[in-house]
Amino acid sequence: MQKNFGKSREEFEAILEHLPDAEREGFRRMGEMFKPWETLHPELALYLYEDHMGTHLKHPLVFDVMYCPGLRDGMLNEQLDRARATAEPDLAGLLAGNDTWTVY
């Protein structure tokens, strides 16, 4: 059965209150991981494409097969932030002529 996670954090919390106790904590953790109330970062949205299998995200730092709008947008945004935080210092050094890519 498909669950509605809500369009905002407040709506998500209200929905959780109506779930059976046995399901509530699992859905809370899933919501905190996916953050469905967030919208996809505009930079990521530029890299969405469709083919015969559906919609996919193919950003140089974030890849998602079978992208489903509104389900994992917050999680994908966090992946972009983490990838940037990791890659940008190395890329800046490489562009400056410092070979910081000693380990992949």
Its domain, for residue 53, covers 38-99
Q: What string of pLDDT tens digits covers the 104 residues of the chain?
A: 345 566 777 888 888 888 888 888 888 888 777 777 788 999 999 999 999 999 999 998 999 998 988 888 888 999 999 988 887 776 666 666 666 555 55
Token pair, residue 21, equals 């106790």
Tell me the C-alpha distance between 29 and 36, whole Å: 12
Q: Which helix (H) or strand (E) holds 26?
A: helix 21-34
Strands 63-64 and 48-51: unpaired
Distance between CA 51 and CA 91 in Å, rounded? 31
Rounded CA gap, 50 and 91, in Å?
A: 30
Is there a single domain that holds both residue 59 and residue 29?
no
Task: Report yes or no on 104 lying in a domain.
Answer: no
Whether residues 33 and 53 share a domain: the answer is: no
